[in-house]
Structure 1
Amino acid sequence: MEFTYMKTFLEVEKQGSYTNAASTLGYAQSSVTAHIQKLEAAYGIVLFERFGRNMRLTSAGRLLLPYAQDIVRLHKESLEKVAGQTNGSISIGTVESVAAFYLPAFLQAFRNNWPHVSISVEPLQEKQILAAIKNGTLDIGFILDPPGVHEGLQCVQLRREPLMIVTRPDHRFKDKQELTVFDLDNEPLILTEEGCTYRAMLLQGMAEANVRCVISYELGSLHAMKQSIQQGSGVALLPQMVVEEELQQHRLIATPYVHPMNHFYIQMVYAKNKWVSDALRAFLDMFPPEPIDQTDGMYQKE
């Protein structure tokens, strides 16, 4: 049985279709189909079933999944260990704000010192990042969340990131020094997509305070959110780093949002039991931890 078949199996499971998997892997769709058929023949079972337009794992496929993940992970580690420490790859999962406004300078600095190491950066939601690190499909994750403990994972707090209510310069909030949940009563909001941690914090706070929530837009793009704010479509809760350029150019204003749960840190996450190559160690060492404000507290997550 070829190792390539396992990689194909994992990509079809991730993409939910043979077509998308073929595009990602650079294969013809017929090759992807052949890989899965040969894998099914080797095990004597059916691995995928059609569900609407997508393919999903059968019960047998779900049993194979963790073994396939381990095989691919161990193969990658063996290549890095045996082939030498100056090449290899690092896979990173990160939330969009960190990918766009925090990581680029670090990535370029690493590239200058380790030019033969391949780096892939995949924008994901936090739950997806944590799950992918636990199953070994990602090496490192970057999240934006209050300090927490995640079972089996090492979490390093890198920087506290202020969350701000962002508005047009002529908005009625322009003279406010800070804002609370009660200031947002009946205020049109532009929200990030579901799964965003600070969106969840905002909406939970409004619900607990019995504040009326008026949603103007829900957008999956930070750039689109900023453009919508400038057009007067509403206000938004965003990390300060996302709007630094617009603040300097006086196209937007940002007011601190005061709430007991507003203690968000950029955090680097990786598996505690992960084998660390020289290249990966060099990358990890680029990010010095920041002491946690003891008033922020910690929370436990599975």
Structure 2
Amino acid sequence: MDIALLKTFIEVARHRHFGRAASALCVSQSAVSARVKLLESVLGVVLFERRRGDIRLTEPGQRLLQHAERIVRSWARARAELVGEQRHTLALGCIPDLWSLGVRERVAVLRRALPWVELRLELLSAATLLQRLADGTLDLALLGEPVESRCCPSEPLARVELVLASSEADIGLERALGEGYILVDWGTRFLTMHAERLAVDMACRMRVDQGRAALDLLREIGGSAYLPRPWVESAAREGWLTAVAAAPSFSLHPHLAIRDGVIDRDPVETAVALLRKTGEAPPAEALPEWPAGVRDASSGP
């Protein structure tokens, strides 16, 4: 099958518009329509529901999308290997919350250490990162929990302390866990320990799957949530968040997952050595110089 057919299908699914997909692919709209029709003919299914002003994936189209994305990514990696470019690339994934917990600084150092490497960085959910490790389109992934997979061994990184923080000063534990409490899904281990040590009725409460979303909500509407201590200390210095003194703390256990069979590559070895230090403050001299104004904008929690 022509890989261009799958690329075209992905762009139409992404933009839900044949014209915008054509612009993204630098081809005519008629070429996009012809490719989609050909793909539907080859597969024997209808991939899109075409309505006036709207295009939606059919059920077969939804099933095809995840396969198409994997095939296109795998094809790109295979092509790079065949032309001898693979040793010059490094594909790194990270869950969004870890980005602000030392990964951002380490990637900056990594960029300076390997200027000759094409570095691909993806901030995605843990499930998506694991899928991309398994299909070979990622070399490394930073996750909030260990990976139970033979093809993607993982190793623990520095632990991150999670503390209960509130927008209300001098608040007690019972009040902090009341109506304004936001439960952050920091992973199976955290949720298990949370249930064992804290009696919280989550009926009519809020639950989010990312710590940064909880932090933003606390700033906007107030309340309390378990957040990494560095974030809480930064917000406390700004005067809008405080740690709840009577609350127990928990630990986030970040892990670095490594796709089996790539550890002998120099870029991966360098990346692993740097990322093992995630959670520690990197030496100031190791950080790159950012353009004026960028450092201030990126130095928040």
TM-score range, shorter chain: 0.5 to 0.7
| Structure 1 residues 94-122: Cα deviation after superposition (integer angstroms, max 9, x where no partner) | 22211233221122112113234333433
Say which SS state the counterpart of residue 127 (structure 1) adopts.
helix
Unaligned 5+ runs, structure 1: 174-178, 291-302
C-alpha change, 1:183 and 1:60, in structure 2 (3 Å) is closer
Match of 2:248 in 1: 258
Q: TM-score, normalised by structure 2?
A: 0.67
Q: CA deviation at 1:129?
A: 2.0
The 5 Å alignment of 1:46-65 reads 46=45, 48-50=47-49, 54-56=56-58, 58=60, 62=64
Return the alpha-carbon distance in structure 1 between the equivalents of residues 98 and 128 of structure 2: 15
The 5 Å alignment of 1:1-302 reads 1-9=1-9, 15=14, 17=16, 22=21, 25-27=24-26, 30=29, 31-41=31-41, 43=42, 45-46=44-45, 48-50=47-49, 54-56=56-58, 58=60, 62=64, 66=67, 69-70=70-71, 72-80=73-81, 82-84=83-85, 87-88=88-89, 90-145=90-145, 147-168=146-167, 170-173=169-172, 185-192=177-184, 196-198=185-187, 201-202=190-191, 205-206=194-195, 211-213=200-202, 217=206, 225-230=214-219, 233-255=222-244, 258=248, 262-273=250-261, 277-288=265-276
Return the alpha-carbon distance in structure 1 between the equivalents of residues 150 and 19 of structure 2: 32
- Structure with more of its chain in helix, by fraction: 2
Return the alpha-carbon distance in structure 2 between the equivalents of residues 112 and 171 of structure 1: 44
| Contact in 2 for aligned 1:167/1:230 (Cα 8 Å) | no
| Contact in 1 for aligned 2:164/2:244 (Cα 8 Å) | yes
| Structure 1 residues 199-242: Cα deviation after superposition (integer angstroms, max 9, x where no partner) | 99448844996533365655677556435435662101112233
Q: CA deviation at 1:269?
A: 1.8
| Contact in 2 for aligned 1:167/1:252 (Cα 8 Å) | yes
| Structure 1 residues 166-208: Cα deviation after superposition (integer angstroms, max 9, x where no partner) | 12362314xxxxx6xx77553521344xxx3349944884499
Q: CA deviation at 1:288?
A: 2.6
Say which SS state the counterpart of residue 159 (structure 1) adopts.
coil
Unaligned 5+ runs, structure 2: 279-301
Q: Sequence identity, in percent?
A: 17
Return the alpha-carbon distance in structure 2 between the equivalents of residues 225 and 237 of structure 1: 9
Aligned length: 273
